[in-house]
Amino acid sequence: MSLETAPDDVKLAVDLIMLLEESGVAPQVVLSALEMVRKDFERKAQEA
């Protein structure tokens, strides 16, 4: 599958992975931050 034709969520995931890998932040810190982000967006999705 080409990234150009991939669904938006796949494109976003690839962009985020690249950004996080380039940042040099420890994997556990990334996972903790992503959990916070997930909870925030789940709350926002419920409010919508």
| pTM, two decimal places | 0.79
The CA distance from 48 to 43, in Å, is: 9
pLDDT in tens, 4-31: 999 999 999 999 999 999 999 999 999 9
Three-state DSSP class for 25?
coil
The CA distance from 17 to 34, in Å, is: 11
pLDDT value for 12: 96
Return the domain boundaries, the chain.
3-47
The CA distance from 37 to 14, in Å, is: 16
Three-state DSSP class for 14?
helix
Three-state DSSP class for 1?
coil
The CA distance from 6 to 47, in Å, is: 28
